Each structure stands twice: as C-alpha cells, then as structure tokens.
Structure 1
C-alpha cells in the first residue's frame, strides 16, 4: 500500500519529551510550519510555559498533556486528549529518553530498569497507542533511536541496550504493519551526538563529568529530519553523518571497531571536571533549553542528512557526493586511530 502523508500545516503532531532538547526544537519548528501540537512531558510547569510561548502565533493550535511515557495509562490519556482536542492526530513522535553514565557492573539494576521504562517501554507504549489510531486513518510513527542503535560504546551500556531494543522493535513493527497493509509510515531516526542537555540530565556513576565526543550536531539537524519523516515516508534517517559513519564502521570492521573503542572510548567521553549527577531518571529534567553549549564546536548542518531531505533529483547527486566523503572520512578515522587520536565522520 502506498502511504500518503499530509503537509505539516495540515497535521496534528504528538511529541513526547517536548520540553527539552530535540523534542523542544521539533515542537517549535513544527509550530512555525503550521502544525497543531499535543506536547507531552512529565513537567507541567515547563509544558504550560511552552504552550503559552507557541500559542502567541498559533492560537488554539497547541495543547499539552502531563504524562510519564513509561506509564501506558498516562500516555493513553495524552492520546485521548489529542483526539478530543483536535479530532485525532497524524504523526506521533516518540522522543523522550534518558541516559546513565557508568560501567555496566557499577550501575544499579533498578536504575537500568528505570531507563528502560522510558527509553524502551515508553517507545513501545507510544507506538502501540499511535498505531491503534493511525492504522485506521493513516499517518506517521517516528521513533528516536541513536547512532548507538547500531553500535556500542563503553560507559553507557544500559542506554546502548535500550536503543538497540528500540531499533529491533521499530523494525519488527514496520514489517508487521506492511504485512497487514496498514497506511502507517514507521521511521527510526538515529542521531549522532547532539548539543542538548543529554549529559547534564544523565545519572552519573563516574568520578568525572562525561562529555559527548566530537562531532556534535545542533538539535535542529535532528528536528528537520524528524519533520521530513512526518511528511515523506522514510524507513530510517541518520541525523548527522557521524551516525552513518559509526554504523558503517561497526558493521564493516567490528573487531577493529571494538579494539579502537576499548582503547579510546572511555577517554573520549570524559572531561577533567568533577562529576555532577543529573535527575532525569526521577523527574523530567525539563527547563525549556534546547542546547547545552558545553560540547565545543557544534555543527549546525549535516551535509549527509541534508542529502536525504531534498527532492529526488538533488538528493541523488548529493548522496553520491556524501558517500565519497563518508568513505574518505572513514579512512581518515582509521589512520588517526592508529596514532591514538580520536576523530570522527
């Protein structure tokens, strides 16, 4: 079945994790493009402020619902509120997520379970609720994975596992919907490192403050990819060329990848700053901030990702160029890794 998606200015979009980072940028960009929004987060104060902000130019087009995505009942109530307010929804974005820094053996199991409640079961809850509605009228389900959906890094074992699980679940669900002919586009967006409050909000069991290795992209890169998938049926999108490069490297040379990460992966994620402990496992950690500003140079665009969000003609040419650049970057990564320096795509 050929899936048809509406233009953004005709859509109602549900966004979880809407009050910080990628979710916040996506909400603001979608509102600017004329979409009606149901914003979901655990922080009612931040939600109320954001609705007030976005309603200045979009009266009665933005609403909110307080919900913990790990609680199916709360999330169903958010969906019901969208249906009652707007008559339904066209795109559902499972964006909420948290992380924990620490060696696998040092992170308490109860914290790992809390992380999975948000990162995995939150996606499952949202996907099932969304599909129940969208299989009748059509639309898009967009799940946020990560470059770590395809590869692993040290010090974030639970997060890596959750994003692998999100990929597996999303892929299986897509196949099943295609089998039944449901008019639902299912997209997995896999960002590279992004300049959000990801690190600041993460639970930390290390003796130093962690960081995101370069390259780091602006959350706008991911938001544009998400909204592209809301309009154009897309299987998956790597948001940031580094994400595609890491996946390619990990699949093409897994033993080399493991060897390099075992030598350099820990150091690449640590600063010299004393540890701080985030609170996203226990509360929303939302403060209407899009960016951290603590990750050095931030790439405002991704040539690789832009190549996938253009019209067909320019896209084909740019993908070819991006492919050449990716291969060249991969070679540079390997050469520099041998010299014990961290680089990236």
Structure 2
C-alpha cells in the first residue's frame, strides 16, 4: 500500500524495523530471528528494484537492540518460566527518536545502540565464538524466576486492551548510548551503519 501511494509521486520513505537478531541469532528465538532475516532479504531486493527503476522512494532498515515493550509478556511462551527481553534494555522513547531520525535522513541501514553494533560486528568476525558463548550466556537471561501463567497471547489475534509502550522493566531502561548519540548527531558517521557496506549512509 505504501508503494502504491509513493511510486506515482516518486517520493517517500519506507522504514523497515529490524533487530540485532537479524544478523546474529540467539537460542530460543529461531522463528523471530528467521523472520527478521527474511525481511532484510526482502528489503534488499526491493531496494535494488527501486534503484533499477530510477525511483526516488527511499528505503531504510533500522535494526534495534532489546527494548522494554510488552512483547515478551504477550508473545506465545511454551517454556515453564515467564519470558523477558534480554538486557540491556532501551526505552521505547529512545527507539522512537532513532526511527524518526532514520525517516528524516534515510540511511541504507541503521544500527541502533551499542549492543546491536556489537552483535552485528561480532557475527561478522567471530561467529563460531558467538555460537558457543550464546549457547551458555543467552539462555537464562530470557527468563524470570516465576512460573509461566500465560493465558493468552498475540500469535494469531490481538489481545483486548492497550498494554502501553513499556514493559515491566522500566527500572532497567536506558536512554541513548554513545553509539546512538554519535550516529544521530553526525549523519556521515557511516562506519557504524552496516558491516556489509561500511560506506553506506
């Protein structure tokens, strides 16, 4: 629908929301990681098609760190314990500001936050080491020591009510870190944009 409106006007910006897990998968998140990787493949293909057609519609992919939203409380959980996002957690407001910046500047890809940057570059240079590290270190942090009492989830339909933007862990939220401040302050700070194309802005 977005392209149907943008193509005749030959302008507009499409924002795709990705994740650090687009590049570096972790245990217990195979479906999520696979879906995010598929979106990246789709986005890269679409971008090439737009360039081929000489379109001025812009396409940018924003990759997020862990965010304190209600997602972990509402996604389907078949494990014995309650789930939680893996810290460090960024606030929803911080992410919203980063996405707004991306909409205005339209970098090819944007890595939000130091943890995302570490995951992407770590996967590029030491993927085998990360396999072994995450097998041990990324399991328990996804849970809290409370039994899973989930009655509903959002896998196939929405749940009633507005859960708000924040999850349960507001005391663990952080604002913009150094990487994000630099990335949004200097639009030519492109070395942190994406390892597949260090010069992409």
Q: TM-score, normalised by structure 2?
A: 0.86
Per-residue deviation, 1:159: 0.7
Aligned to 1:246, the other structure's residue is in SS state helix
**Residue 166 (structure 1) aligned to one of 24, 35, 39:** 39
* Aligned mates of 1:276, 1:178 — CA distance in 2: 49
Aligned to 1:136, the other structure's residue is in SS state helix
1:305 paired residue number:
180
Deviation string, structure 1 residues 11-34 (Cα, Å, up to 9, x no partner)? xxxxxxxxxxxxxxxxxxxxxxxx
**Residue correspondences, number:** 189
**Residue 53 (structure 2) aligned to one of 155, 162, 180:** 180
Of Structure 1 and Structure 2, the greater helix share is in 1
* Aligned mates of 1:256, 1:214 — CA distance in 2: 20
CA contact (8 A) 1:221 1:302 kept: no
Matched, 1:130 2:5: no
Alignment of 1:144-293 (within 5 A): 144-277=17-150, 278-285=152-159, 287=162, 289-293=164-168
* Long gaps (5+) in structure 1: 1-128, 323-345
Deviation string, structure 1 residues 203-251 (Cα, Å, up to 9, x no partner)? 0010001122221101122211211122112111112221111111112
Per-residue deviation, 1:264: 2.0
Where does structure 1 differ by over 3 angstroms across 4 or more consecutive aligned residues?
none
Superposition CA RMSD, Å? 1.9
* Structure 2 CA distance for partners of 1:185 and 1:297, relative to 1, 3 Å: same
Alignment of 1:7-156 (within 5 A): 129-137=1-9, 138-156=11-29
* Aligned mates of 2:4, 2:63 — CA distance in 1: 24
Deviation string, structure 1 residues 227-279 (Cα, Å, up to 9, x no partner)? 11221121111122211111111121010000111122212212211114351
* Structure 2 CA distance for partners of 1:241 and 1:263, relative to 1, 3 Å: same
Per-residue deviation, 1:296: 4.6
1:122 paired residue number:
none
* Aligned mates of 1:210, 1:217 — CA distance in 2: 17
* Relative contact order higher in (CA < 8 Å, ≥ 6 apart): 2
Per-residue deviation, 1:303: 2.0
Higher gyration radius (CA)? 1
* Aligned mates of 2:53, 2:178 — CA distance in 1: 36
Deviation string, structure 1 residues 91-133 (Cα, Å, up to 9, x no partner)? xxxxxxxxxxxxxxxxxxxxxxxxxxxxxxxxxxxxxx21222
